[in-house]
A and B are shown apart, each in its own frame.
Chain A
Amino acid sequence: MDVVNQLQRQFIDYSASLHREGFLDDQFTQLQKLQDDNSPDFVVEVASLFFEDCEKLINNMARALEQQQGVDFRQVDASVHQLKGSSSSIGAMRVKDVCVAFRSFCEAQNREGCLRCLQQVTHEYSLLKNKLQTLFRQQILAAGGSIPVVE
């Protein structure tokens, strides 16, 4: 039990640190609260949906921005908007913040700025993904289970 307790504390600490560093906000906490016996993997499910979505959108944006001339900023903007919605629904605060900046560059049709933001978004996204994976692993451990071999 001690080990479990320790693990649980570790999990809580880690999750708190994620909040502290601004990776996650209250929305994520809300998500965690929604998870119950009926849907035990709710958070993981939503998170993986989010990651899929993100990768897709990032690819879209990268492709759109790669074009040397005639960048379709409206398309980029739509993608960023969607990314922003997704990130805020999962509570990924830092990704959301970058999206806000991203959108303003889109409105200004600033390709340089957009590219910079895209880089940032990618960075933040991968960072968050790592963090969340760690978190989930800890969560499972804390719940007393073993680490799935998957991923």
Chain B
Amino acid sequence: MVLKLQQSHHHQSVAVKGNEQMGTKRGYTFIQSNRDWLPKLILLWVMVMGFISTWIYKKMDADNNVRREEVLSSMCDQRARMLQDQFSVSVNHVHALALLVATFHYYKNPSAIDQETFAEYTARAAFERPLLSGVAYAERVVHSGREKFEKQHGWTIKAMQREPSRLRDEYAPLIFSQETISYIESLDMMSGEEDRENIVRARATGKAVLTSPFRLLGSHHLGVVLTFPVYKSKLPPKPTMEERIVATAGYLGGAIDVESLVENLLGQLAGNQAILVNVYDITNSSDPLVMYGHQNQDGDWAVVHESKLDFGDPFRKHQMICRYHQKAPTSWTALTNVFLFFVICLLVGYILYGAVIHIVKVEDDFREMQELKVRAEAADVAKSQFLATVPHEIRTPMNGMLALLLDTDLSSTQRGYAQTAQVCGKALITLINEVIDRAKIEAGKLELETVPFNIRSIFDNVLSLFSEKSRNKGVEVSRDKTNRKPSLAVFVSDKVPEMVMGDLGRFRQIITNLVGNSVKFTERGHIFVKVHLAESTQPVADTKVETCLNGGSDEGLLISSACQFKTGYEAADERNSWDSFRHLVVDEELRYDAPVNTIDEASRGITLMVSVEDTGIGIPLIVQDRVFTPFMQADSSTSRNYGGTGIGLSITKCLVELMGGHISFISRPQVGSTFSFTTVFKRCNKASYNDTKKSIVELPSGFKGLKAIVVDGKPGKQNGHVFKLPKVILLAKNITNVELEKAKAAGFADTVIMKPMRASMAAACLQQVLGIGKKRQAGKDMLNGSPVLHGLLCGKKILVVDDNMAHQRVFAGALKKFGAAVECRESGKAALKLLQLPCCFYACFMDIQMPEMDGFEATHPIRMMESKANEQMNGGMDEDSGRKGEWHVPILAMTADVIHATYDECLKCRMDGCVEAL
């Protein structure tokens, strides 16, 4: 055994390993295999998201700057354009003034302009030149003409330093000036370096030229001097430089206050506060000169826009530079957006991480569970194997003990104890056997054998076994209960072959289990086993009598040509109802002549359908789904009432499934249960069939076509039937020899069959009767009534009380039929007279509804009388009263309407029963 256990352990551990491997294989997923990378992955995710966020922010910021630059450039260009326009307007005015001087000073002779005129005109036209602080005219004087000029004007030509000018080739003294700048009159413009250069350039080009910016004398504003040449004579259409220089008469100049000009201009425009504007003279590109604006002013140097300015002087270049007053403000929108984006990304990352972690956790748990499951299963297997082996070890010594228990001579007490021990031991062994079966099936160790056997004889055996048991039960329980034992019967369809190949023992076990269950749970009614081929859809059609009748049933049991079966109790499965059996009988009569054996010999397997029907307590609905679960019973109270381990049905189910069938049941509580199962057997081949055939009793073939009526039961139900049968066989359960003699003396019984009636016994008996039947003309001189009933009533005096003559007559006739001596009375009073003690009536039937004195009223004085008599002669005895020690005439009420109330009333009036009579 140790070896076995070790083996099993080994086996089990192998199984566990296999399972584990399977589990791990299944457990590997992508997430599982990369679980260590998870924290790194989440970090990477955060970083990537951070980068992306920064990038987005930068992009948005750059967009902002571009927009700023665009705005700046457009503003700057606008300002530059306007400045240019204003400047050119001023230049045009100066040009006009130059033309004026040329026209009125040189073309007119004498000159139409003198200083006063010029001053007045310029002063009055000053509104047109708001930016020019003043204009002045300088005449070209060559050195040769200096003295003449000085003489003519009355002053000497002065240089810029207010001293008489040194000698030069030519001079340009101011002759006319606006009053605002009259202080520079008579100054030689040629003496200043810048002015001289300006003048030279102006007369060469004939256009307005500008000086570089400088601080104006009066206002200290930055400004430039604009110089225009004035020519003496009209120039040819395309004058050369020399021609221009020769024709030059003088120069008109004006100082432009650039600073106020720009200031003015900017003041007119919107957005003035936001930007800083600088204007430079960049003629010398390496050293730009400021014309407007402060070089060192703060401001945003990041964004700068340069606009070209063209003031009409081709030699000078100017440009305007604009920038923002303040640095670009931080873009809160962009920042917020980016921040939100980042947060969302973080959350997404967190969620993903959480999900993955969860998956990992679930998978871990799953694997753990699987491991536990495998272990639990292994434990279960181990348990099963243990159970499969250990009970063997228990059973063997147990058997030895039981065998030896009663072997020696024992005193009566000892023997009694030993017998008890043996009974207990046997019960224990039965239980152990069940456990072994169950365990064997679970461990898959049960093997089915295949032997030929006779199905009918199996049923015969099993049924007789149970009727034996139930009879014992009946003896043990109280007397009135014996009447309530169920009857037991079997049908085997004709189509079912006699011999089949299969596991006889196991099949027998199934039947035993099911029938045993039914017997256990059925108090009254019937237990009915039906066997037919699963192929035939109709309920059993061609059936022969195969009966095992167990007596003691309260109700009549009638079996005719085929089999009729009725105990008055409803069955759970209606297919087995009384009606369907009536059909069977008809069927049987119709096709009696048809060949019975229609089975195709070629078909190999035989599927048998067996149903076991009972009228027991049924199975409660709530437990119906776990009926086949091992160790499950309907409930503990049932367990107490009926005992058992609850393992039987599960074994049965396993066995049925092993044999290739199914088991199912229909059950209605308090009505009964019907268990049906199918099994598959092999068809028996001829050789083995012949071997076994000899050993069994040839059963029913001799009786085909015979009709039989079996009557069993009490009077009242079957008293009127006409029986035209040639033989009467008395069926008895526990018949005593005395009764037997009596029965034979009565001359109606050919023989007696002890119940339960088994097919084999019935067959033998029938044969016996028929064999001797020829001699006697049985039946003609027989009374047509129930033999049992006849035996019961023969010679007994019975009183019938009824006012209805017809009724009385009929009833009396019925009783007389059974040999009773019947007295009739028409009223309760008359009956009372007859029933005075000591009376000699076996029983009294009394109509309830009678004039004068009805049944209840009549019963009362009788019972009074009897009880008085009983008190007086305690222990007295009378043959006819039927009861020891007391007077008691059984009084049975007769009534047409037996409703419950009436029955109760009968009992209240101390009647003994109630007969539904018409």
Interface residues in chain A, defined as those with a beta carbon under 8 Å from any beta carbon in chain B: 27, 29-31, 33-36, 38-39, 42, 45-46, 49-50, 52-53, 78, 81-82, 84-86, 88-90
Contact = CB atoms under 8 A, between A and B. Distances in A.
A46 B806 contact: yes
B232 interface: no
Interface string B783-804: 1100000000000000000011
A34 B804 contact: no
Interface stretch (B531-539, B585-593, B813-821): B813-821
Nearest to B850: A82
B307 interface: no
B813 A89 contact: no
A89 B803 CA distance: 13
A45 B806 CA distance: 9
Contact of A30 (B720, B783, B807, B849): B720
Contacts of B896: 84-85, 88
A31 B918 contact: no
Interface of B: 720-722, 783-784, 803-807, 809-811, 813-814, 816-817, 849, 851, 896, 917-918
B855 to A, nearest CB: 13
Given A33-B720, A34-B720, A86-B804, A49 B918 contact: no
A46 B810 contact: yes
A36 B784 CA distance: 9
A78 B807 CA distance: 16
Rank and list the top 3 A-B pairs by shortest CB-CB distance, nearest first.
A30-B720, A89-B807, A50-B806
A38 B804 contact: no
A46 B802 CA distance: 14
Contacts of B783: 36
A29 B719 CA distance: 12
A36 to B, nearest CB: 7
Contact of B804 (A27, A36, A89): A89
A82 B804 contact: yes
A39 B918 contact: no
Nearest to A78: B851
Given A81-B849, A88-B918, A34 B807 contact: no
For the residues of B in contact with A, the DSSP-based class is loop
Given A46-B813, A85-B896, A53 B806 contact: yes
Contact of A53 (B784, B805, B814): B805
Contacts, number: 61
B813 A42 contact: yes
Contacts of B721: 33
B918 A27 contact: yes
Given A49-B806, A88-B918, 14 more contacts: A27-B918, A29-B720, A31-B810, A33-B720, A33-B784, A34-B813, A35-B813, A36-B783, A46-B813, A85-B806, A86-B806, A88-B896, A89-B804, A89-B810
Most A-side CB within 10 Å, residue of B721, B805, B816, B896: B805
A89 B918 contact: yes
Most A-side CB within 10 Å, residue of B783, B803, B804, B814: B804
B779 to A, nearest CB: 13
A39 to B, nearest CB: 6
A50 B816 CA distance: 20
A34 B814 contact: yes
A53 B802 CA distance: 13
Nearest to B814: A34
Contacts of A89: 804, 806-807, 810-811, 917-918
A53 B804 contact: yes
A33 B804 CA distance: 21
Given A30-B720, A33-B721, A85 B918 contact: yes
A19 B496 CA distance: 41
Contacts of A88: 896, 918
Contacts of B817: 34, 36
Nearest to A43: B813
B804 A90 contact: no
B816 A39 contact: yes
A49 B805 contact: yes
B804 A46 contact: no
A120 B851 CA distance: 26
Nearest to B780: A37
A90 B806 contact: yes
A57 to B, nearest CB: 10
18 contacts: A29-B720, A30-B720, A33-B721, A34-B720, A36-B783, A38-B816, A45-B809, A49-B806, A81-B849, A82-B804, A84-B896, A85-B918, A88-B896, A88-B918, A89-B806, A89-B810, A89-B918, A90-B806
Contacts of A31: 810, 813
A50 B813 CA distance: 15
